Structure 1
């Protein structure tokens, strides 16, 4: 079991109703889209980090680890938005103040939304999200494909790690030339095994009488009015705080 799944199944909020965590993450996503990003982005990051680490008792390194890769992609790609291509006197890259403002806006808004998704991923197992997706009207085929792909991702990662370790044990990455050759062989092997695994999964589902819907057993839990009110209060505080800060900075 990978770290995200392990924390999703063992965190402090696991026995709470998943709708409460969906309200927190979904409400935060709406605020990230609707509020001024310069103030809402940092506030949402702080709220989701506090809710995940302090509320759900998920280690801070796990939250930062989930945020690290997409945040790194954002921070490395955002500076390019601050550049403009000037063709009036040849080809020349120039600094654009409007582009820099857009880069800052996109980065902060994206980080705020990303923190909401990280909180949901670390506190709610996928198996508990499936029934809710069906209740809100998501087509059953989309839900089933997402569930199967989620499972295949972990199988693919396990095969990739095992293959890389086997190649490393045979000095497959001792030189740059060997590293490129080993990486090519690994990718080709993984592609073939992924297709084989998909075919085996299709045959297995057909043998078990699959008719277009996978049933997932989830425990029945009750919504807590006290926790729902607390989540609503936190989201309202973030909204008011963002608007007040935006007015103060204007």
Structure 2
């Protein structure tokens, strides 16, 4: 099941899209602006709670999505936490090497922790938005926000092509697995190589078919789709604004 399917099943999908965009992007700004990683952890937990308990999105989906950027973050923060110095000063743990010391510095570890939770908190804010808002509603909201039409159309076409790419890969993988293509390491490498060699060709053919289908239906460079109307909730807007103001204010204490 792709992200858009979860978004359509979310209990928060009927909340005004502009409000969710405002809440998500403002939270990202606060998360990146704050010097305290406690704010980032709080936003991470808040977005996870809202997505799982209010949106009824499975917790394993939210956690699995967070693990994807976490791998890159761990690699990145190691470069910040680890340092080399000719003097053994300011290290948590240092090892002598080449007439100097190599290890984890106090300042480096602190910066790495702050950066890690900032990135994870900001990512959780974005996941809250995309897991609870269908792509059609997001693109429609971008049009209302006067985002250039060309950019919106490119975003939608790229999104469709990504879905085609993922669906094609899933179909090929399922076909290979049903023929015992991943029973051992040699067969797995062989099947993976076959998947990679065929995937782009089939995806390209399917994308061409999709474009021809669009042209057959009168596509003239603009995609017009129906969206469910959502009411503006002034009360929620006030609550979100007060929450953000309080969160910013706490960082000055």
Bucket of the pairwise TM-score, normalised by the shorter protein: 0.7 to 0.9
Out of 187, 198, 206, the position equivalent to 1:197 is 206
Structure 1 residue 42 displacement after superposition: 0.9
| Structure 1: runs of 5 or more not aligned | 245-250
Structure 1 residue 193 displacement after superposition: 0.8
After TM superposition, the structure 1 stretch with the greater mean CA deviation from structure 2, 97-106 or 19-28, is 97-106
Structure 1 residue 186 displacement after superposition: 0.5
More helix by share: 1
- Three-state SS of the structure 2 residue aligned to 1:138 is coil
Structure 1 residue 90 displacement after superposition: 8.0
After TM superposition, the structure 1 stretch with the greater mean CA deviation from structure 2, 93-102 or 37-46, is 93-102
Task: Please name the residue that 2:16 is paired with.
Answer: 17
Structure 1 residue 8 displacement after superposition: 1.4
- Three-state SS of the structure 2 residue aligned to 1:211 is coil
Q: Aligned-residue CA RMSD in angstroms?
A: 2.5
Aligned-partner Cα distance in 1 for 2:233–2:160: 31
Q: 1:175 to 1:219 in 2, by over 3 A?
A: closer
2:143 counterpart of 1:143: no
Aligned-partner Cα distance in 1 for 2:147–2:234: 26
CA contact 1:40–1:239 (8 Å) conserved in 2: no
Structure 1 residue 239 displacement after superposition: 2.1
With CA pairs under 8 Å and 6+ residues apart, which has the higher RCO, 1 or 2?
A: 1
CA contact 2:168–2:203 (8 Å) conserved in 1: no
Aligned-partner Cα distance in 2 for 1:90–1:178: 48
- Three-state SS of the structure 1 residue aligned to 2:218 is coil
Task: Please name the residue that 1:82 is paired with.
Answer: 81
Structure 1 residue 93 displacement after superposition: 4.8
TM-score by structure 2 length? 0.84
CA contact 1:44–1:238 (8 Å) conserved in 2: no
- Three-state SS of the structure 2 residue aligned to 1:161 is helix
CA contact 2:40–2:120 (8 Å) conserved in 1: yes
Aligned-partner Cα distance in 1 for 2:234–2:214: 40
- 1:84-99 matches, cutoff 5 A: 84=83, 89=98, 93-99=102-108
- Three-state SS of the structure 2 residue aligned to 1:12 is coil
Task: Please name the residue that 1:28 is paired with.
Answer: 27
Task: Please name the residue that 1:125 is paired with.
Answer: 134
Aligned-partner Cα distance in 2 for 1:182–1:17: 45
What stretches of structure 1 move > 4 A for 4+ residues in a row?
Answer: 85-88, 90-93
| Structure 2: runs of 5 or more not aligned | 87-96
Q: Deviations over 1:87-142 (max 9, x none)?
A: 99489854344432332222111011011011111111110011221232322222
Aligned-partner Cα distance in 2 for 1:148–1:221: 24
Q: 1:83 to 1:196 in 2, by over 3 A?
A: same
After TM superposition, the structure 1 stretch with the greater mean CA deviation from structure 2, 125-134 or 198-207, is 198-207
Task: Please name the residue that 1:66 is paired with.
Answer: 65
Between the two proteins, the alignment pairs up a number of residues equal to 243
Q: Deviations over 1:205-246 (max 9, x none)?
A: 2232222210121233221111111111222232233443xx
CA contact 2:164–2:207 (8 Å) conserved in 1: no
Aligned-partner Cα distance in 2 for 1:98–1:168: 49
Out of 178, 186, 198, the position equivalent to 2:195 is 186
Task: Please name the residue that 2:114 is paired with.
Answer: 105
2:47 counterpart of 1:48: yes
